[in-house]
Amino acid sequence: MKQTNYYLFDFLDFDPALQQDEYLWKSYCPRSVEARDGAVYITVPYQRQVRQNDMLADLSVPQREFTLIIKAYTHNIIRVFTSFDGSEPIDRDDMMCWHKKLRPIELSVNEDAGFYWMVDGNGEVRATLNCSKPVIEFWSDLQPAPQPTLDLKLYPEGAKSEAIADGTAKSVNLSAYDHFSPPRYDALPLAFVERDGKPATATMSFECLPDECFVGTGERFTKMDLSGHTFQLKNQDGQGVNNRRCYKNVPFYLSSRMYGVFYHTSSYCKLSFADHSTRSVQFLSEEPVIDAFIIGGNMPEQILHGYRCLTGFPPMLPLWSFGIWMSRMTYFSAEEVNAICNRLRSEKYPCDVIHLDTGWFKTDWLCEWKFNEERFPNPLQFIHDLKDKGFRVSLWQLPYIAEDAEQIDEARAHHYIAEPQRKDLQQAEEGRSNFSSLDYAGTIDFTSPEATVWYKGLLKRLLDMGVACIKTDFGENIHMDAKYFGMTPEKLNNLYALLYQKAAFEITREICSKPSHYAKAFDTSENAGIVWARSAWAGCQRYPLHWGGDSAHSWDGMAASLKGGLHFGLSGFSFWSHDVPGFHSLPDFMNSPLQEDIYVRWTQFGVFSSHIRYHGSHKREPWCYPSIAPIIRRWWNLRYHLMPYIYEEAKKTTRTGNPMIRALLMEHPDDPTVWHVDDEYYFGSKFLCCPVMNSQNCRNIYLPAGKWVNFFTGEHFDAGEGGWIMHYEVPLDLMPVFVRPSTEIPIYFDEVECTDQINLDKAGVLVVDEEFGGIEF
């Protein structure tokens, strides 16, 4: 990033000292406001600024005018759109999936002495624009007068004019006056940067309050409140979960003032939450377009529901997917897999899925979408035999074609891959996270319909055998110096995850919904779609499910995984998982043995997660750790006892704005403490989970207001208006989980080997009544 002595310019990646054709254009007070076709069109002039640290209007250059469009929708949504390159608003693309109940609301405009009211048909004000002159009592010319500004306030939920007049209406305001002295601006309401004579980037800023908190933006591995931080929204291999890199960026955030903003773009962008300026939330897009949806609501769930009305709701997943997944990196033969599965059954470990990672090909890591004929001599029989024992098969693959892959000539001949212009393959190495030295020749081009059909055909052969799930690994990085069929690599990079996962999800749903398919089990056909994905962008919640990437087997790896999952759930996603008990070892990535207490504590976290998969670079099977194996078996059985509850809560999340793993703020947004709690969560609507993430078997617990019961011990707690339990001791075989008194939990009392043996119609109910002394498991 370029460094200047001016925070605004640093945020804009703009250096006025550089001798190049680069200029900043600032928005001024609008010249006209017109209601047309149900929307409001505002003509906004922009003035070029002199290339210097102190902002000064370059009056030698004529102003340029651009249109700002305001639209209102049901579900408390206001859309703000402006384009500096002639682009028009896009309602339908890969990110957007408008719900049928989402409808436009017609706006009209009233004006009084330079003050404009944008009003809906019910007389509710949805936006105001102040073009009147500010009140001035002149006494000094020590500082120059401020430049004109854009003073726009938005009311996504609607507001009465009386409430606006007395200051009680909730509004989301553009940062009209975020400056020190007039030449020193910290944020701008709207502006763009021109490079080489063309608009290149655009920025928009909203006012924020001193105590305002922010969450979301994807799978963010950091503390709950994002204020005071700036994030680059660019998908990349996270290479762990304890740094700023991010597998899953989502251009959406939620504010503690109860509004959310979705920035409709796949371009690289930045969000600064009270960081470059403590008075503003600043957004910078690396394209000359701003398309922002401001979403209101009284609860976080309402706001996330509005976001899903724009970008799509998650579908329900098959029952078997909520069972235990067993894996490691990697199983290499049918003989090895059968031995693992037979031992799981003989030692009474319930399990539904066996995952084969990189070792099922002819050559480890050389993805050719075909089984090794020597080590898997009869894959069809192998898969069907496993299914007869209650095991589904999940297979690893990735979206790049290696130079030595069987498909390389066909892929090149038909342009199914986008090939890099350079041959040093540095970017491809980054995309593989250095797990292999394979020479990736290109990235499968999912912007090409023909390439997408071809890729689906590769998966179809596997799915026809009975494979139940495809692991859509990677997808964060693409070859940036290649030419793609449908868009530039800069626009595609973030969106690639969605196109990739969409293709795999669609073909899985098509094949696995067939009545004869071995993976179908008891689920209805519409629940057959599933992937196991690592990367994501806005809209990927329609193609579940996603897991948290390559976390370290450590307490900080576990803690950061939970933080990422909480922010991910606050970004529109229902389902999320993580590698139990962490993906890689320390200090030796592949060879350091696992720590048994981490294995147990991460198992407990996994049992109370949307989905649970054991995976990583070292042995993961529980019998490899005999001193804790009985504890693990008990927790696995508990998972299956809770299956009716898990399935019921999962279905609810597909119709609402709730995730399965939800931050406490989802239920208690008025409690300021919970906006800073990132080591507790609700699992569904009834369990408050407090995983232990240290070797001291002790933790501090925050209980929101009201009465609580420890689900495992039966202890009763009265948190009053909300309070802390300090130094709460927890034996290794238990995890602090709390429920409300009189809670009813759907439960399956029988022990089973897999979900095939569960009949949800025969589920019982566990009542947390006065005699409840804790669940026995």
Q: Which residues are catalytic?
A: 473, 476
Q: Which residue reads 């999320």 in tokens? A: 576
Distance separating alpha carbons of residues 667 and 664, to the nearest angstrom:
6
How far is residue 275 from each of residues 7, 143, 226, 564, 675, measured CA to CA in Å?
A: 9, 26, 10, 21, 18
**Cβ–Cβ under 8 Å, residues 544 and 654:** no
* Token duo for residue 761: 């119609």
* Number of neighbouring beta carbons within 10 Å of residue 408: 18
Q: How buried is 611 (Cβ within 10 angstroms: 0-12 exposed, 13-18 middle, 19+ buried)?
A: buried
The residue among 520, 692, 525 whose CA lies nearest residue 605 is 692
Sequence-separated contacts (24+) of 83-90 with Cβ below 8 Å: 83/288, 83/289, 83/290, 84/192, 84/199, 84/202, 84/288, 84/289, 85/198, 85/199, 85/287, 85/288, 85/289, 87/288, 87/289, 89/291, 90/264, 90/291
Q: Are 229 and 253 in contact (CB under 8 A)?
A: no
* Amino acid code (one letter) for 132: S
Q: Specify whether the CB–CB gap between 429 and 479 falls below 8 A.
A: no
Please state the φ and ψ torsions of residue 582, each to the nearest 5 degrees.
Answer: 95, 150
Element (H, E) at 603: helix 596-607
**Cβ-based neighbours of 433, under 8 Å, separated by 6 or more:** 237, 239, 474, 550
Q: Cα separation of 367 and 396, whole Å?
A: 9
Cα-based angle 188, 194, 200 (whole degrees, multiple of 5): 90
| Cβ contacts of 144 within 8 Å, gap of 6 or more | 182, 183
Task: Encode 541-558: b = buried (16+ Cβ within 10 Å), e = exposed.
Answer: bbbbbbbbbbbbbbbbbb
One-letter amino acid of 591: N
Cis ω for the linkage preceding 581 (within 30 of 0): yes
Tokens 């102040």 appear where? 130
Distance CA 214, CA 632 (A): 37
Q: Give the DSSP per-residue string, 277-334.
A: STTEEEEEESSSEEEEEEEE-SSHHHHHHHHHHHH-PPPPPPGGGGSEEE--TT---H
Nearest to 639 by CA among 186, 320, 179: 320
DSSP 620-632: --GGGSTTTHHHH
Which are the contacts of 513, defined by CB distance < 8 A and separation ≥ 6? 520, 525, 526, 528, 529
Q: Which residues pair with 683 in a beta bridge?
A: 661, 687
